């Protein structure tokens, strides 16, 4: 015992050796406490799906290639659609292996989709809106699978849906079945913490709120990854992430604040990696309630906001200007930004709407500091046209309760893209033909009681259109309508930003952050 104590004392007093991360290990400091479950049928949060992306594979890979997001072959080497646009046939890659050593076959694809549809967890709507029933997925032979959709869908939609890492990740059916029980026939409990994937890394350890360790899978079909091991260490506080990066204890700081990222732009030894994020920061006005039931009032608000103050003052430039709901870089984006701060014009519109004296309105925001800052800026901007904004802060659980029940009047919020097709945005932002509970899509347009059956029909038609150019024109039209009539003020598209040590090479951030791949990342020192 005395020896142990002596050893502890000596070691504790000794200066800790500087531990430089080994060359073949990538250390990422990140806030990992969002991860609560690693069953791909259930994961829906961006950071959890980012982890899933590294050790599972899907039929299609949604990757960033030369500035564009494209669908590339994943476990499926090729695919084609039937003439009626209803049946998609996927040809699987031969020789792709699960981490267990088994080859990936059509049976695994059918099992994975059936499993996700049967478990019916929250994100399943992404698949079930087009493929609601497991019987619509059929095995043609060991290496061929057909998926029938309930309506014709464009190629980018089906590719981005079956490429969705999570519900459409392909699991090792034999391995999962071996852990099924009578009460848990889909082995949900087991898969929460275990790996049944075929991706470029293998899940070795997940200790909640501590770390996630992934080791390279040497038999990955596209070749082994650039680093042998990735360790995600939980460092929730951005300032602590910065210190660890500066000390060289981590290679990548994942959650720095924009003002911290700026400090590295000219700092030797570090690289700032940033790119557009397919998400939107916006103000919502409930078009079912006065005064926002008047389109002129909504237009007046759009002319009263100081967009630059929000982008450069609050977001410190970590944002792309944009006023349409399909962000820049995404198929169908309409690059129109007509609005800027014009107090006179805003006042004139208000007067025309019958509110020359302004009005008083409550604005809801979550307690997130950035949203509160935006709300404060909007309050100051609208005061200049006679509108008195009273800000009410609340935790997310209360905020979304009111928003989902259409009980708000005015609020600030954000939205991310669920799958890499404009359909994922057109439906929430522009699909609403009735404000009742019978509406098939009860997302943003519905929550803001913005009824526009003509645009809704256009959203439906655009999803079915197989001609890409016609489809692009349809989405541009939808955005144009929403831009001037809709219940939103689109403020900006945030940027994804991380800072790495300069020895880290090959990291490209996908605009849908969860699709970012660490497979091509390597370290030079």
Partner 1 sequence: MLGYIARRLIWMLLVLWGVMTITFFVARVIPADPVGAILGPQAPPEAIERERERLGLNRPIYVQYIRYIFDLLRGDLGISLRTRRPVLQDIAQFFPATAELALSAFLIGVVLGISVGVVSAVYPGRVIDHASRVFAIVGLSMPAFWLGLLLLLGFYYKLGWLPGPGQLPYWMPRPPRVTGFLFVDALLAHDWSALTSYLKHLVMPAFTLGWISTASIARITRASMLEVLREEYIKTARMKGLKESGVVMKHAFKNALLPIITVVGIRLASLLEGAVLTETVFAWPGLGRYATHSFLSIDFNAVVGVAIFTAFLYAFCNLAVDLLYAYLNPKIRYV
Which residues would be at the binding site for partner 1 (CB under 8 A)?
Answer: 4, 7-8, 11-12, 15-16, 18-19, 21-22, 25, 27, 33, 36-37, 42, 44-45, 120-125, 192, 207-211, 231, 233-237, 239-240, 243-244, 246-247, 249-250, 395-404, 413-416, 418, 428, 441-443
b/e map 107-132, b = 16+ CB within 10 Å: ebbbbbbbbbbebebebbebbbbbbe
Of 19 and 178, which has the nearer Cβ to partner 1? 19
Least Å distance between CB 389 and partner 1?
22
Report the alpha-carbon distance of residue 266 to residue 147 in Å, rounded. Answer: 50
Helix 468-485 vs helix 453-464: crossing angle, to nearest 10? 160
Choose between 404 and 505: whose C-beta lies nearer to partner 1.
Answer: 404
> 368-381 in b/e burial notation, b at 16+ Cβ within 10 A?
eebbbbbbebbeeb
Residues 344, 348, 351: CA angle, nearest 5 degrees: 140
For partner 1, the closer CB: 32 or 497: 32
Nearer to partner 1, 346 or 411 (CB): 411
Of the pair 294, 398, the CB lying nearest partner 1 is at: 398
Least distance from partner 1 to the Cβ atom of residue 50, Å: 15
Nearer to partner 1, 67 or 236 (CB): 236
Q: Which is nearer to partner 1, 27 or 92 (CB)?
A: 27
Q: Residue 363 CB, nearest distance to partner 1 (Å)?
A: 17
Q: Between residues 107 and 401, which has the closer beta carbon with respect to partner 1?
A: 401
> What's the CA gap between 271 and 273, in Å, rounded?
6
Choice between 107 and 237, CB closer to partner 1: 237
CA dihedral for 261, 266, 267, 273, sign (positive or negative): positive
Cα torsion for 374, 375, 377, 378, to the nearest 10°?
A: 120
Structure tokens at 33: 């406490």
Q: Whole-number minimum distance, CB 205 to partner 1, in Å? A: 8
CB of 34 to partner 1, least distance (A): 9
Instruction: Map residue 21 onto helix, strand or coil.
Output: coil
- Which residue from 38, 399, 2, 396 is spatially nearest to 208, judged by alpha carbons? 38
Count the alpha carbons within 13 Å of 212 in the hemisphere toward its beta carbon: 30
CA angle 8, 13, 15 (to 5 degrees): 120
The answer to whether residues 219 and 203 touch, using CB atoms and an 8 Å cutoff, is no
CB of residue 305 to partner 1, shortest distance in Å: 21
How much is the CA Rg of the chain, to the nearest whole Å?
Answer: 25
C-beta closer to partner 1: residue 228 or 340: 228
Q: How far is the CB of 152 from partner 1 (least distance, A)?
A: 22
Provide, rounded to whole angstroms, the least separation between the CB of residue 260 and partner 1: 13
Place of tokens 């290679």: 251
With tokens 């990936």, the residue in question is 104
Helix (H) or strand (E) holding 523: strand 522-523
Query: What number of residues does the chain have?
Result: 525
Cite the DSSP H helix spans in 83-139. Answer: 106-119, 125-128
For partner 1, which is the closer residue by CB, 145 or 375?
375
Which residue, 143 or 515, is less far from partner 1 as judged by CB? 515
For the bound state, the minimum distance from the C-beta of residue 165 to partner 1, rounded and expressed in Å, comes to 16
Q: 81 pairs with which residues across the strands?
A: 88
- Min. distance of Cβ 122 from partner 1 in angstroms? 4
Helix (H) or strand (E) holding 472: helix 468-485
Q: How far is the CB of 244 from partner 1 (least distance, A)?
A: 5
Shortest spacing between CB 103 and partner 1, in angstroms: 32
Q: At 410, which helix (H) or strand (E)?
A: strand 410-416
């Amino acid at each position: 015992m005395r020896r142990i104590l002596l050893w502890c004392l000596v070691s504790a007093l000794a200066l800790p050796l500087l531990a430089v991360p080994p060359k073949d290990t990538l250390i990422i400091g990140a806030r990992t406490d969002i991860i609560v479950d690693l069953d791909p049928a259930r994961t829906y949060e961006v950071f959890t799906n980012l982890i899933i992306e590294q050790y599972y594979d899907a039929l299609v890979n949604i990757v960033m290639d030369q500035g564009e997001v494209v669908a590339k072959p994943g476990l499926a080497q090729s695919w084609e659609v039937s003439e009626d646009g209803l049946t998609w046939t996927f040809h699987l890659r031969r020789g792709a292996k699960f981490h267990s050593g088994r080859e990936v076959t059509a049976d695994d694809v059918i099992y994975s989709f059936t499993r996700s549809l049967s478990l019916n967890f929250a994100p399943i709507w992404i698949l079930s809106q087009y493929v609601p029933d497991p019987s619509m997925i059929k095995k043609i032979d060991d290496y061929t699978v057909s998926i029938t959709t309930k309506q014709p869908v464009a190629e980018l939609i089906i590719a981005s849906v079956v490429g969705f890492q999570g519900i459409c990740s392909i699991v090792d059916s034999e391995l999962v079945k071996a852990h099924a029980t009578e009460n848990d026939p889909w082995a949900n409990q087991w898969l929460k913490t275990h790996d049944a994937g075929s991706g470029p890394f293998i899940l070795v350890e997940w200790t909640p709120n501590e770390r996630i360790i992934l080791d390279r899978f040497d038999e990955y079909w596209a070749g082994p990854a650039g680093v042998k091991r990735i360790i995600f260490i939980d460092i929730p506080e951005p300032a602590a992430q910065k210190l660890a990066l500066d000390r060289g204890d981590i290679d990548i700081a994942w959650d720095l604040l924009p003002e911290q990222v700026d400090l590295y732009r000219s700092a030797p030894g570090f690289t700032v990696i940033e790119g557009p994020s397919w998400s939107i920061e916006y103000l919502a006005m409930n078009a079912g309630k006065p005064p926002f039931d008047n389109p002129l009032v909504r237009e007046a608000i759009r002319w009263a906001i100081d967009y630059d103050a929000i982008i450069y003052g609050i977001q410190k430039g970590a944002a792309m200007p944009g006023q349409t709901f399909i962000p820049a870089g995404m198929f169908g984006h309409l690059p129109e930004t007509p609005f800027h701060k014009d107090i006179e014009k805003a006042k004139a519109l208000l007067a025309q709407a019958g509110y020359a004296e302004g009005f008083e309105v409550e604005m809801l925001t979550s307690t997130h500091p950035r949203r509160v800052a935006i709300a404060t800026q909007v309050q100051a901007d609208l005061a200049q046209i006679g509108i008195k904004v009273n800000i009410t802060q609340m935790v997310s659980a209360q905020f979304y309760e009111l928003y989902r029940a259409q009980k708000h009047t005015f609020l600030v919020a954000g939205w991310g893209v669920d799958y890499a097709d404009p359909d994922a945005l057109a439906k929430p932002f522009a699909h609403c033909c009735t404000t009742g509970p019978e509406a098939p899509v009860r997302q943003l347009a519905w929550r803001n009681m913005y009824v526009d059956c003509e645009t809704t029909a256009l959203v439906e038609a655009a999803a079915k259109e197989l001609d890409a150019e016609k489809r692009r024109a349809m989405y541009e039209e939808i955005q144009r309508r929403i831009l001037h009539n809709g219940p939103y003020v689109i403020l900006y598209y945030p940027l994804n930003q991380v800072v790495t040590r300069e020895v880290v090479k090959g990291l490209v951030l996908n605009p849908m952050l969860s699709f970012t791949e660490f497979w091509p990342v390597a370290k030079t020192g």
